[in-house]
Amino acid sequence: MKTIQSLLILAVAGVLFASCSGGSFQKAKSGLLYKIVSGSKKEKLQPGAYIKFHVKVYQKDSLSYNSFGKIPAFTMVDSLGRSYDISEVFPLMYVGDSAVVVQSLDTIARLSGGQMPPGFKKGDKIKIMFRVLEQYTDMAQAQDQYNKELEQQKEREIAVIEDYLKKKNITTTKTAGGTFVEIMNPGDGAKPDSGQKVLVKYTGMTFDGEKFDSNVDSSFGHVDPFPITIGQMGSIVGFEDGVKQLAKGGKAKVYIPSMLAYGMQGSPPKIKSYENLIFEIEVLDITTGTAIAPPVLQPAPPGAK
């Protein structure tokens, strides 16, 4: 299970470089420019508490990230905040408040020894807009809410896929985990079980039909069968979920919600944040192995570039 420690601040981890000038902005001790739009002012953010907030990030005036309608960001309130970071503003806010933070790439470069972040140039600016939704007294509460947000996001994605399948008149079987499997050929014999090694041919594509990886199409530079050991999570969750529905020789088209694929991170540049995916899968062989318990962590998906 992903934890708050690893993913809470993912939505803002790459956006600590923004700037703007003029208007009614105030300046923090570090020089950070900010503007707070008050809400109810009934519950002040407390140091040590965890908060849930939605965020939009504009890089050079273009929207680069938007959590609204998806999974909010979570983080802990620090009494001082990290220097030249949006966390400086949190101790000044209340639940329900909104804020705009702007930072200078020139300042970021100066603070990092003259090193400009990749993709930016002198004078570039990024604007971060966020709204505080809730406050939690401890990490356990925040983790529980985060897990609920993950599940709600998956349900939204499942609804989108169900609508797509209905419009395309595609018949599938939905697994317990939430993967949709369109079986062309179930294969012969038993389906793979925990600890068994499966050799797979596959092509991965977006719902727009754009391929992002394949060991069938030689243009992707690798044509060897992809090995996956059931229960070892050597692929994204939805991919293994699809493989487990097939016996040797089986073929299927698998429709995977992003939360069972790459989720909020995506896999740039080919797979966007929160992108649902489709895999065409063929099981070439299944070999007997020793049954093992599946690990908790989820590593990288198969062969995506």
Give the active site residues: 202, 212-213, 236, 262, 279
Neighbouring CB atoms inside 10 A of 198's CB total 25
Largest distance between two CA atoms of the chain = 70
Decide: 271 and 202 in contact? Cβ < 8 Å.
no
Burial zone of 114 (CB within 10 Å; 0-12 exposed, 13-18 middle, 19+ buried)? exposed
Residue spans of beta strands (DSSP E) within the chain: 26-27, 33-37, 50-59, 62-66, 73-76, 98-104, 125-136, 173-174, 180-185, 197-206, 211-214, 226-229, 251-256, 277-287
Instruction: Please enumerate in sequence order all residues whose Cβ is within 8 A of that of 212, keeping only pairs 6 or more positions apart, or say none.
Output: 204, 205, 206, 267, 270, 271, 277, 304, 305
Which backbone phi and psi does 277 adopt, to 5 degrees? -130, 160
